[in-house]
Amino acid sequence: MSKCIAILTGGGDCPGLNPAIRGCVYGAEKYGYECVGITDGWKGLVEGTTTPLSREITEYIIMKG
């Protein structure tokens, strides 16, 4: 069984959220964890809809608004 971190946000704008997500993914991969983003907030958590997150996917996330 692999170690996994799920990232869930509220969906609204928040200063520093994209760098925080990127930092979480980078740190997780450094220690052998995988990360997934929960799609559609709490509904996605209940329904299990996730998106894999990796360095490649989050590399330029800090440049997006």
pLDDT per residue over 3-54, tens digit each?
999 999 887 778 888 999 999 999 999 999 999 999 888 899 999 999 999 9
CA distance 6 to 64: 21
Task: Answer yes or no: is pLDDT of 1 > 80.
Answer: no
**Amino acid found at 4:** C
Residue with tokens 């220690």: 31
At residue 65, the 3 state secondary structure works out as coil
Number of domains in the chain: 1
Domain coverage including residue 27: 4-8+15-63
Q: pTM value? A: 0.82
Specify the pLDDT at position 26. Answer: 97
What is the bridge-based pairing of β-strands 34-38 and 4-7?
A: parallel
